[in-house]
Amino acid sequence: MTRVTGSGGSSGIFACWSRVDERAASLYERKKGCCGFSSVGKSVDSYSKPSSSLVEGFPDQVPPFPTETAVSIIEEELGAPVDKIFDRFDYEPIAAASLGQVHRASLKGQEFVIKVQRPGLKDLFDIDLKNLRVIAEYLQKVDPKSDGAKRDWVAIYDECASVLYQEIDYTKEAANAELFANNFKDMDYVKVPKIVREYTTPQVLTMEYVPGIKINRIKQLDQLGVDRQRLGRYVVESYLEQILSHGFFHADPHPGNIAVDDVNGGRLIFYDFGMMGSISSNIREGLLEAFYGVYEKNPDRVKFPQILDK
């Protein structure tokens, strides 16, 4: 789980995404030939005609890995042939990303999506992170920090490594999704796909199929008939709730990970809980004080240095 601290330690996490993406793409190139990439877990290519934000395309595209490989991983992880587990399994993936790809399936009349991890990622991370550790230790020794910044290169590396390994453990993502869903259980304007624990392992994540429209598709949202002003309020309220009430928030809120459907007149659907953030209670208290200070236009209550030093 990503930690968000007053010292800004989380900023180093994002510095490593492009390097890992590049290596993930390189891994695919060695096996298949070519690969586009953007940021970890964000590059999605659609192969059917999806109605869901979960499977809609991003600007860069990542080709899928062979279906036979995906099926082999599912069967090895779940311990049975896919046609024995599911009533229907779609062999053509509906989406592919740098960390995995998604297949649809049905069981007992319910629709599910199955995220399968791209093979070889842990070995890739082991190699790269070992090299990055050496670089971090070197930078720690030679960085003069003459600009006054409090950089701890080894701490940045440790945080980055921790997040990356958790990103490729789908049981962690499942736990994050369940905690997030529980935090919003009494709020009908937020929907989190239900996790199917029985069919979830470190490399396979099975969840409820919840289609929606990407939150930045304005024309489609208008056609759906949702109130965009109210929707905007829901987004703000949901993040205030995440950060100030629970201290546990979705740390990757790009439009591919937030969708909308017409349930209850317009509902937010959150996807992809691989990267989450947590904020300690003392920092939450400081942020809340600052928030009320801004609201009341009282500069004495807005003391960011005190927040950051907590």
- pLDDT at position 232, please? 93
Strands 110-117 and 95-96: unpaired
Q: What is the predicted pLDDT for the residue at 309?
A: 54
Assign 83 a pLDDT band (cuts: 50, 70, 90): very high
Q: How many CA atoms lie within 13 A of 101 on its CB side?
A: 27
Are 158 and 132 in contact by the 8 Å Cβ rule? The answer is no
* Catalytic residue IDs: 252
Q: For the chain, what is the mean pLDDT?
A: 81
Bridge-based pairing state of the strands 267-270 and 258-261: antiparallel
* 199: Cα within 13 Å, side-chain hemisphere: 22
Tokens of 52: 């869901």
Per-residue pLDDT at 123 exceeds 50: yes
Residue 139 to residues 14, 79, 146, 156, Cα–Cα distance (Å): 17, 45, 13, 11
pLDDT at 306: 52
Query: Contacts for 8-12 with beta carbons within 8 Å, 24 or more apart?
Result: 8/150, 8/308, 9/152, 9/155, 9/156, 9/159, 10/159, 10/277, 11/156, 12/153, 12/155, 12/156, 12/157, 12/159, 12/160
Q: Where are the domains of the chain?
A: 2-211
> What's this model's pTM, rounded to 2 decimal places?
0.75
